[in-house]
């Protein structure tokens, strides 16, 4: 049963401190929503966990089942079970969706799946996400709409089956139909209770479909308030202002 523990995490970008001591634990079967205004450090947390070289961890630990992922390379983190769905998925010219997924699945599972089995699994996952099968032969994210890119992020999630999924504003830019499809994919991933989800968002609309167990409010690079789903509703009605003030004075 996977557990991600973030202990007193400090992160800087170009010598400017962004995260100022974040503590958070995500256990298997739990969904944690991170909410907060722009510039509060939400995406910095996601990229620091994943190992983006721009983000310099200056203190603290990120433990996955007791192992410090900060000591791992980016690909080692992925193989260990950390998954990041990016806010702005990148285009990968020359690499088809099918080849990308099979390479990633091989790396994570430790052996190449039989082509027939892999193709069947991929087609099934694409159908669930209402992705045109022709996309399997297209270059990854090249020429995709925002919604198509986000569906393909969830396709990767369902195929790779990580221990912990960090979803950075997966709902941004989605119309209501795409939001429902993406949310259903996240919910399928959560079935069985053996994985954890860290869902970063500005808005409550995705939380109507992906129900969080815990909500954490970020401000000025730290968690300033925590609660259950009712906290998200409070934020929807009252906004972030009082929490931003609390973060600035902390």
pLDDT of 22 reads: 97
The tokens for 136 are 């399997």
Residue with the two structure tokens 């399928």: 188
CB of 138 closer than 8 Å to CB of 173: no
What are the chain's domains? 3-88+145-150+162-249 (3.40.50.300)
pLDDT of 249 reads: 56
> Which tens digits make up the pLDDT trace of 134-171?
999 999 999 999 999 999 999 999 999 999 999 999 99
Which of 44, 45, 39, 33 minimizes the C-alpha distance to 234? Answer: 33
Beta strands at 196-200 and 31-35: parallel, antiparallel or unpaired: parallel
Is 70 exceeded by the pLDDT of residue 111?
A: yes
pTM flag (> 0.85): yes
Contacts of 97 (CB under 8 A, 6+ apart): 135, 136, 137, 138, 139, 140, 152, 155
Give CA–CA dist 51/110, Å, rounded.
21
Give CA–CA dist 225/213, Å, rounded.
14
> Which tens digits make up the pLDDT trace of 24-37?
999 999 999 999 98
pLDDT above 70 covers a percentage of the chain that reads 98
> Which tens digits make up the pLDDT trace of 188-246?
999 988 999 999 998 899 999 999 999 999 999 999 999 999 999 999 888 888 777 66
Confidence at 250, pLDDT banded by 50, 70, 90 = low
């Amino acid at each position: 049963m996977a557990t991600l523990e973030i202990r007193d995490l400090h992160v800087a970008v170009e010598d400017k401190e962004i995260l100022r001591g974040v503590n958070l634990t995500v256990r298997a079967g739990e969904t944690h929503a991170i909410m907060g205004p722009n510039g509060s450090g939400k995406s910095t947390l996601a990229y620091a966990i994943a190992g983006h070289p721009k983000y310099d961890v200056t203190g603290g630990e990120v433990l996955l089942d007791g192992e410090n992922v900060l000591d791992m390379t980016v690909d080692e983190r992925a193989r260990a079970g950390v998954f990041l769905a990016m806010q702005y998925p990148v285009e990968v010219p020359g690499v088809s969706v099918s080849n990308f997924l099979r390479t990633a699945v091989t790396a994570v599972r430790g052996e190449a799946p039989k082509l027939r089995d892999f193709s069947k699994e991929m087609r099934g996952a694409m159908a669930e996400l209402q992705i045109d099968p022709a996309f399997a032969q297209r270059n990854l994210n090249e020429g995709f709409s925002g919604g198509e890119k986000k569906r393909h992020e969830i396709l990767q999630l369902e195929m790779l089956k990580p221990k912990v999924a960090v979803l950075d504003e997966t709902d941004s830019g989605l119309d209501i139909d795409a939001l429902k499809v993406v949310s259903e994919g996240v919910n399928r991933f959560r079935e069985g209770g053996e994985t954890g989800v860290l869902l970063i968002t500005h808005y409550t609309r995705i939380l109507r479909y992906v129900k969080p167990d815990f909500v954490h409010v970020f401000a000025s690079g730290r968690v300033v308030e925590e609660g259950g789903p009712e906290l998200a509703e409070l934020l929807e009605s009252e906004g972030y202002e009082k929490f931003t003030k609390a973060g600035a004075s902390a």
